[in-house]
Amino acid sequence: SPQSKSPVIKPINKGVVHRICSGQVILDLSSAVKELVENSLDAGATSIEIALKEYGEEWFQVIDNGCGISPANFKVVALKHHTSKLADFPDLESLTTFGFRGEALSSLCALGNLTIETRTKNEPVATHLTFDHSGLLIAEKKTARQIGTTVTVKKLFSNLPVRSKEFHRNIRKEYGKLISLLNAYALTAKGVRLVCSNTSRKNLKYVVIKTQGSGSLKDSIIQVFGMNMFNCLEPVSICISDDCKIEGFLSRSGQGSGRSMGDRQYFFVNGRPVDMPKVSKLVNEIYKGANSKQYPVAIMNFIIPTRACDVNVTPDKRKVFFSDESMILQSLREGLQQIYSSSNASYIVNGVD
Ligand code: ADP
Ligand code: MG
């Protein structure tokens, strides 16, 4: 109701603000796990294990053999905007790590119960750390562990009532989205062994994804999707300009095997998994001209100079802006048309100009 007196403006409780903002960084199960996997990649891990209990509903854990966190950083590691990856704004242009905002761990603290076990090469033993919802370190004890880091999050969203209800109701869908995202990392992370397992309520553990981290995209595709699927693909290379190109694999015109629009379509910018709805639409549209009964599988990496793209558009960093998007789409369109129009298609296409 309208007030006759001007209301008093008061600051919102800090903890509440933190919880609200964190809910924008960590949107769902897959964005939570994605942040942890990216931290492991940034830490130089060559082995990453993702363990889920009850599809992540109870807890999830990311175990790596990366560089570990040094004791000097224990107190600040989960504080908002504390990062080891970026100090100045100009750094953003030359960024090569996945993370840089220092928000993931602090947000996960706000939304669930976070613990870390970590050990660097300089420590003889590991340390188990417990954090509170504001990211403060509240307990610390020694434990046994190899070099690397394990981050565990229990009861995600338990203190956001509406999100929590959604999370539990949609858990199978969230889990499906997570597996598709982990497939993307399994495809792109060269030389990184990636394993994902889920443990059921009855304590049965089953492995969902397992790659050896061989180093070639071909091997990763075979390990993630199987040999039959790989045999329906053709390597593709489309040159856009001197320093821009698209590389990957596409379904042959008669052998699409995506089950639905967008199924088994993975897009990357400089190896970073991203959403590219316009690209997906274009690929489907042109493929349809050659094969109207099936959907194409597409695994495509856009190699673009970092100065010509911005991944810092949305908090989950899944959206990209290109300085010349129309040129990229135009080259892609012409490349795809060339690939799918002729009967003896070559999937190697050189520049438009
Ligand atoms: P960001 O990744 O943007 O720096 P995060 O909140 O994700 O922010 O992580 C904060 C810091 O914690 C990182 O900058 C890094 O120094 C450290 N860290 C997080 N996860 C790991 C890990 N798995 N191994 C080593 N260091 C880690
Ligand atoms: Mg991070």
How many angstroms separate the Cα of 126 from the Cα of each of 93, 149, 265?
A: 35, 9, 40
Q: What is the pLDDT of residue 86?
A: 62
Q: Which residue's alpha carbon is at the smallest distance from atom 15 of ligand 1?
A: 84
CB 127 within 8 A of CB 119: yes
CB atoms within 10 A of CB 99: 20
Cα of 318 vs its chain's centroid, Å: 8
CB atoms within 10 A of CB 14: 9
- The enclosing H or E element of 246 equals strand 244-251
Q: Find all residues with CB under 8 Å of 298, minimum gap 6, and list them.
A: 248, 249, 250, 251, 264, 265, 266, 267, 280, 283
Q: What is the pLDDT of residue 224?
A: 93
CB 233 within 8 A of CB 252: yes
| Domain count across the chain | 2
Q: Domain check: are 78 and 184 in the same one?
A: yes
Q: How many CA atoms lie within 13 A of 144 on its CB side?
A: 0
Q: Is the pLDDT of residue 51 over 60?
A: yes
- Which-ligand-closest: CA of 108? 1
CB 151 within 8 A of CB 164: no
Instruction: Look up the domain containing 319 and give its range.
Output: 226-349
Q: What is the pLDDT of residue 195?
A: 97
Q: Domain check: are 175 and 235 in the same one?
A: no
Whether 126 is in the pocket of ligand 1, judged by its Cβ within 6 Å, is no
pLDDT averaged over the chain? 88
Whether 117 is in the pocket of ligand 1, judged by its Cβ within 6 Å, is no
pLDDT band at 351; cut points 50, 70, 90: low
Whether 148 is in the pocket of ligand 1, judged by its Cβ within 6 Å, is no
What is the 64 CA–ligand 2 centroid distance (Å)? 14
Q: In this structure, what CATH number is given to the domain that contains residue 291?
A: 3.30.230.10
Q: In this structure, what CATH number is given to the domain that contains residue 198?
A: 3.30.565.10
Token readout for 271 is: 């190896």
Q: What is the pLDDT of residues 284-321, one digit of tens each?
A: 999 988 888 888 999 999 999 888 887 766 766 777 88
Average pLDDT over residues 42-49: 96
Whether 135 is in the pocket of ligand 1, judged by its Cβ within 6 Å, is no
Instruction: Please report whether residue 6 resides in a domain.
Output: no
The Cα–Cα gap between 323 and 320 comes to 10
Q: Domain check: are 244 and 185 in the same one?
A: no
The Cα–Cα gap between 49 and 158 comes to 24
- Which-ligand-closest: CA of 62? 1
Instruction: Please report whether residue 221 resides in a domain.
Output: no
Q: What is the pLDDT of residues 210-244, one digit of tens each?
A: 999 888 899 999 999 999 999 999 999 999 888 89
Q: Domain check: are 242 and 207 in the same one?
A: no
Q: Find all residues with CB under 8 Å of 232, minimum gap 6, and list them.
A: 251, 252, 255, 256, 257, 297
Q: Domain check: are 202 and 285 in the same one?
A: no
Q: What is the pLDDT of residue 100?
A: 67
Q: Find all residues with CB under 8 Å of 184, minimum gap 6, and list them.
A: 266, 268, 273
Q: What is the pLDDT of residue 89?
A: 53
Q: What is the pLDDT of residues 63-122, one digit of tens each?
A: 999 999 999 999 999 988 888 876 555 555 555 677 667 789 999 999 999 999 999 999
Q: Is the pLDDT of residue 154 over 90?
A: yes
What is the 102 CA–ligand 2 centroid distance (Å)? 6
Instruction: Please report whether residue 291 resides in a domain.
Output: yes
pTM, to two decimals = 0.88
Q: What is the pLDDT of residues 177-200, one digit of tens each?
A: 999 999 999 999 889 999 999 999
Q: Domain check: are 58 and 196 in the same one?
A: yes
Q: How many CA atoms lie within 13 A of 28 on its CB side?
A: 18
The Cα–Cα gap between 216 and 212 comes to 10
User: Which of 211, 236, 267 is at the close of a domain?
Assistant: 211
Minimum mean pLDDT among 69-83, 117-131, 149-163, 261-275: which range?
261-275
CB atoms within 10 A of CB 295: 21
| Residue among 31, 77, 146 to mutate when testing ligand 1 (max atoms within 8 A of CB) | 77
Q: What is the pLDDT of residue 205?
A: 94
Q: Domain check: are 240 and 177 in the same one?
A: no
Q: Domain check: are 181 and 274 in the same one?
A: no
Instruction: Please report whether residue 123 resides in a domain.
Output: yes
Q: Is the pLDDT of residue 8 over 90?
A: no
Q: What is the pLDDT of residue 230?
A: 93
ipTM higher than 0.90? yes
pLDDT band at 138; cut points 50, 70, 90: very high
Q: Is the pLDDT of residue 261 over 90?
A: no
Token readout for 134 is: 């504001």
Q: What is the pLDDT of residue 153?
A: 98
Q: What is the pLDDT of residue 1?
A: 63
Q: Domain check: are 163 and 186 in the same one?
A: yes
| Residue among 18, 37, 42 to mutate when testing ligand 1 (max atoms within 8 A of CB) | 42
CB 82 within 8 A of CB 99: no
Whether 67 is in the pocket of ligand 1, judged by its Cβ within 6 Å, is yes
The Cα–Cα gap between 26 and 33 comes to 9
